């Protein structure tokens, strides 16, 4: 986290939580508009309007692209693994731009749940052919015509790929949650503790000065 923030000012400035201190915004690039879904507290450094706007614009496009990779992957480059990696990059971008609250707000469910559902989907797709006497992992092809789309070829392997997709997203997100978000939360706790200790110290000094019937403080003793 940046250490150049003035002490005692709220870390969050934005329309969601009006800046209580009457000073100017924390830096010239701190946006006043809300671009992401939560009150932004970026994972690294100060807020950046550029990053937030780009994230807002790119995340839907990245997710759509990941779905494209997923469905086109059978005979062309792509597939569940690549699609899952791309999709998880969208969430990582949100995390970098908006911090861990933004990451949690964007998730449909906990990473563990994604992992579990992905594994289940993959195993069931792999195992279903066994019930009709076909080899494990056997795939069925359906071809039909849809309005607007035209000829559509659907393979049952797509469900397996979807499982892989969910596993990859779940895995990357649990890594981000374990290595990034948790450390961030611990840092934040430490910072809050630090601030509380500082204010306690200030209060004690003030009390001590009041008890000493307020002699004029020596220069340099007053905390700036």
**Contact residues for another protein (CB under 8 A)?**
112-113, 115-120, 122-124, 126-127, 130, 133-139
The residues with which 154 forms a beta bridge, in sequence order, are 142
Closer CB to another protein, 123 or 192, in the complex: 123
Residue 147 DSSP code = T
- Find all residues with CB under 8 Å of 167, minimum gap 6, and list them: 84, 114, 115, 118, 119, 122
Residue 145 to residues 115, 149, 151, 157, 217: CA-CA distances in angstroms? Answer: 33, 7, 5, 19, 85
To the nearest whole angstrom, how small is the minimum distance from the Cβ of residue 131 to another protein?
Answer: 8
Least spacing, CB of residue 92 vs another protein, in Å = 22
For residue 142, the minimal CB distance to another protein (Å) is 17
- Contact between 142 and 76 (Cβ < 8 Å): no
Q: Which is nearer to another protein, 133 or 220 (CB)?
A: 133
141 CB burial (10 A radius; 0-12, 13-18, 19+): exposed
Q: How far is the CB of 135 from another protein (least distance, A)?
A: 5
Q: Given the complex with another protein, which of 142 and 149 has the nearer CB atom?
A: 142
Question: Which residue's CB is nearer to another protein, number 8 or number 127?
Answer: 127
């Amino acid at each position: 986290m940046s250490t150049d923030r003035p002490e005692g000012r709220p870390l969050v400035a934005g329309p969601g939580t009006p800046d209580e201190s009457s000073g100017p915004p924390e830096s010239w690039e701190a946006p006043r508009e809300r671009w992401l879904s939560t009150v932004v507290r970026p994972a690294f450094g100060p807020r950046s309007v550029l990053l937030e706007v780009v994230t807002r614009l790119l995340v839907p496009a990245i997710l759509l692209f990941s779905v494209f990779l997923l469905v086109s992957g059978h005979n062309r480059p792509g597939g569940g693994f690549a699609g899952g990696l791309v999709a998880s990059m969208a969430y990582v971008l949100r995390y970098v731009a908006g911090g861990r609250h933004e990451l949690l707000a964007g998730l449909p469910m906990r990473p563990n749940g994604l992992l579990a559902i992905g594994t289940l989907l993959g195993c069931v797709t792999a195992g279903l052919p066994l019930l009709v006497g076909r080899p494990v992992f056997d795939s069925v092809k359906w071809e039909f015509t849809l309005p607007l789309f035209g000829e559509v070829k659907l393979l049952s392997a797509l469900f397996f790929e979807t499982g892989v997709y969910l596993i990859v997203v779940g895995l990357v997100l649990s890594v981000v949650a374990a290595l990034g978000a948790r450390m961030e939360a611990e840092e934040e706790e430490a910072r809050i503790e630090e601030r509380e200790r500082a204010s306690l110290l200030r209060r004690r000094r003030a009390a001590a000065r009041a008890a000493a019937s307020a002699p004029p403080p020596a220069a340099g003793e007053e905390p700036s």
